Amino acid sequence: MCGIVAAVGEIDDATCRRMLSRIKHRGPDDAGEIHRPHAWLGHQRLSIMDVDGGHQPLTGTGGTTHLVVNGEIYNHRHIRDALGHELFETGSDSEAALHALIADGPVGLARLRGMFALAYLTDDGEFLVARDSVGVKPLYWARREDVTLFASEMRAFEPEDRPLVETFPPGYCWTRNGGLVRFADAVPARVRPARRAAEPGVWDDTLVKSIRETVVSAVENRMMSDVGIGVFLSGGLDSAIVAAVAAEYAERNGEPLPTFAVGAPGSSDLAAARVVAEHLGTEHHEVVMTRENVVEMVPRTVRAIEHFDPSLVRSAVPNLLLAEYASKRVHAVLTGEGADELFAGYSYYHEDPFTDPDALQAELVRTVGELHHLNLQRCDRTTMAFGLEARVPFLDRDVIELALSIPPEHKMVTPEKKLLREAFEGWVPDEILWRGKEQFGDGSGAKEALAELLSDVGEAAGSWQEEAVAEGVELRTREEAGFYRLWREELDGIRPDRTLGLFATT
């Protein structure tokens, strides 16, 4: 929804303002800042909820508490009910986070259900920063002796601070006195190791109904908006399910649902997305990739996603093309991110050593916890590069809790994600419901469109492989070396280490 910058310690206003200006693309509608002795908050706003009254930094009653938020608080109405509507001065969902912190201090973070990175400041010196448990919204920090700096993207930091930049860990809050404290896990603590299935692949209607109702609730919660909202429709199962639920919600509210698909001419993803859109009756848009726009987009993609992993770059190119188009028509989109990690959708989940149920369960938990390094980074950056917010209903805490409580044996049957498919029979056309899994870069046609260009990128890599080795980074291919060169040109000084998720892991 936005971009934030915060600082505590020996503040330099000019530095903070330069940092904020570098992430203006995340919130082109408005900007605001507040400066107190030894603390600074800045905000670039993408106006989605309470367009007229939701300016940030938000200030509490009495003018002594201040907050900036990047993200959405989906249960803000429940928080208003619990704390008292008389406290609230705007219709912004972010104000719920402000009053939760005023009422309960850091413990108030436990009230929040949503995706967020936030910074909170009081006039008496309290300062707190926090990030949602899955890391849907990005946050980075750089710690110097005299000041600690925070920002939504790595590019925000001054060149001299870039060697100090680290990922702020999901599910943690930080205060000057208390340091880093975990307040939530990516996988909720009450999720117990899944019990063994009495008979793998055999389940009752209760489980199927529970999956359907939980996913429907998560999608509907993410339809809140005072401006346009759509769905990225890849043609695969997960985005088709999201689109089906969103289309029904939009119809009940008398609104059209825009859907957006991208692919090369004749690609399987475009064809499949068209089938879903016609079935649901959505306002469908297609972006057709050409070699020319792919060539133009590759350098922009590497710089936008702040990453050089080849598989991530390949899938991000069509995402960036789609985001650029969709941002001119809506302010927010829903995507299908997270379903594969929860329901074992990737092929490698069905190979050794994950043919053992306990090993599979551990790997699913691990990959959900690591999403913020890879897929969620791509999802956030490609959309926010054009001031477009992406929402990920499959990573709702209730969906995560339910999915990871299912015996892993039920996820080892074929076709992959059979439980999820059965839960949405009748919602999605059968030819899509039972369609086999394709990687986005393959189904969209991006792999073929990129092949020639990637060879050129690799040829131009030159000495970057040697420089990467000197920095402790192993580049596996010339293609990756080419992407590393582009990444280094944009983010010179950043240390490419595991704290930033910048080692190729796929």
pLDDT in tens, 251-301: 999 999 999 999 988 888 999 999 999 999 999 999 999 888 888 899 999
Listed range (36-45, 99-108, 489-498) with the worst mean pLDDT: 489-498
The single residue listed with the structure tokens 């900036």 is 68
CATH code, domain carrying 354: 3.40.50.620
Using the predicted structure, report yes or no on whether residue 463 has a pLDDT greater than 70.
no
Spatial strand order of the sheet with 58-59 comes to 58-59, 65-73, 114-122, 127-131, 172-175, 179-182
Whether 295 and 317 have beta carbons less than 8 Å apart is answered as no
Q: What is the pLDDT of residues 135-148, one digit of tens each?
A: 999 999 999 999 99
Cα angle value 240/245/248 (rounded, 5°): 120
In 214-321 the beta strands, taken as DSSP E runs, fall at 229-232, 258-263, 283-288
Catalytic one of 2, 16, 173, 379: 2
Query: In terms of domains, do 141 and 246 share one?
Result: no
Q: Does residue 74 fall inside a structural domain?
A: yes
Residue among 359, 344, 347, 360 at smallest CA distance from 421? 344
What count of other Cβ atoms lies within 10 Å of the Cβ of residue 232? 26
Asked whether the predicted pLDDT for residue 353 surpasses 60, the reply is yes
> Given a cut of 80, is residue 438 above it in pLDDT?
no
- Check whether 477 has a pLDDT greater than 90: no
Confidence label for 506 from pLDDT (cuts 50, 70 and 90): very low
Check which CATH number belongs to the domain holding 48 and give it: 3.60.20.10
Q: Is residue 198 in some structural domain? A: no
**The sheet that has 389-391: what strands, in order across it?**
283-288, 258-263, 229-232, 332-334, 389-391
Judgement on whether residues 165 and 220 belong to the same structural domain of the protein: no
Q: What residues contact 305, with CB distance under 8 A and at least 6 apart? A: 312, 313, 316, 377, 378, 381, 382
Determine which of 138-152, 232-246, 307-321, 430-444 has the lowest per-residue pLDDT on average. Answer: 430-444
Contacts of 131 (CB under 8 A, 6+ apart): 116, 117, 118, 137, 139, 168, 169, 170, 171, 172, 173
3-class secondary-structure state, position 288: strand
CA distances from residue 381 to 1, 207, 265, 294, 351 in whole angstroms, order as listed = 12, 35, 25, 17, 31
Shared domain for 411 and 281, answered yes or no, is yes
pLDDT at position 505 is: 41
Tell me how many domains the chain contains: 2
- Same domain for 267 and 320, yes or no, is yes
495 pLDDT band, cuts 50/70/90, is: confident
In this structure, the strands spanning 172-175 and 179-182 are antiparallel
Residues 210 and 276 in one domain: yes
> 43 and 88 in one domain?
yes
Answer yes or no: is 494 within a domain.
no
pLDDT at site 356: 95
**Domain-embedded: residue 505:** no
Q: Which residues pair with 334 in a beta bridge?
A: 231, 391
Q: Are residues 239 and 167 in the same domain?
A: no
* Distance (Å, whole) CA 131 – CA 147: 20
Question: What are φ and ψ of residue 496, in 5° steps?
Answer: -80, 80
Q: Give yes or no: residues 268 and 403 share one domain.
A: yes
Query: pLDDT tens digit string along 237-250?
Result: 999 999 999 999 99
Residue 91 amino acid letter:
G
Q: Which residue has the tokens 């088709």?
A: 240
Q: Which domain holds residue 423?
A: 205-452
In sequence order, what are the residues at sequence separation of 6 or more whose Cβ sits closer than 8 angstroms to the Cβ of residue 118? 4, 67, 68, 69, 70, 71, 94, 97, 129, 130, 131
Q: What is the mean pLDDT of residues 109-122?
A: 97
Tell me how far apart the alpha carbons of residues 82 and 15 are, in angstroms, rounded to a whole number: 39
Q: What pLDDT, on a 0 to 100 scale, did the predictor assign at position 245?
A: 98
For the chain, percent of residues with pLDDT exceeding 70: 90
130 within domain boundaries: yes
Do residues 165 and 226 both lie within one domain?
Answer: no
**CA distance linking residue 391 with residue 12, whole number of Å:** 34
Mean pLDDT of the chain: 90
Q: Does 362 lie in the same domain as 256? A: yes
pTM of the model: 0.94
When pLDDT is averaged across residues 359-379 and rounded to a whole number, the result is: 95
141-155: b (≥16 Cβ within 10 Å) or e:
bbeeeebbbbbbbbb
Indicate the range of 98-102, 184-188, 353-357 predicted with least confidence.
Answer: 184-188
Q: What whole-number distance in Å separates Cα of residue 315 and Cα of residue 440?
A: 6
Is there a contact between 334 and 219 (Cβ–Cβ < 8 Å)? yes
Would you report the helix, strand and coil content of the chain in percent, each value rounded to 5? 45, 20, 35
Within a domain: 99: yes
Residue 378 above 70 pLDDT?
yes
- Confirm whether 167 is domain-assigned: yes
Instruction: Using the 3D structure, point to which of 151, 182, 213 is the last residue of a domain.
Output: 182
In the residue annotation, 2 being an active-site residue is answered as yes
Rg (CA), the chain: 22
More confident residue, 492 or 467: 492
What span, in angstroms and rounded, lies between the C-alpha atoms of 123 and 461? 51
* Overall average pLDDT of the 430-438 stretch: 85
Residue for token pair 């009450």? 190
Handedness of CA 264, 266, 269, 274 (dihedral sign): positive
Q: How many CA atoms lie within 13 A of 488 on its CB side?
A: 16
- Asked if residue 170 and residue 135 are part of one domain, the reply reads yes
Question: How far apart are the two ends of the chain, measured CA to CA in Å?
Answer: 29
Q: Are residues 218 and 140 in the same domain?
A: no
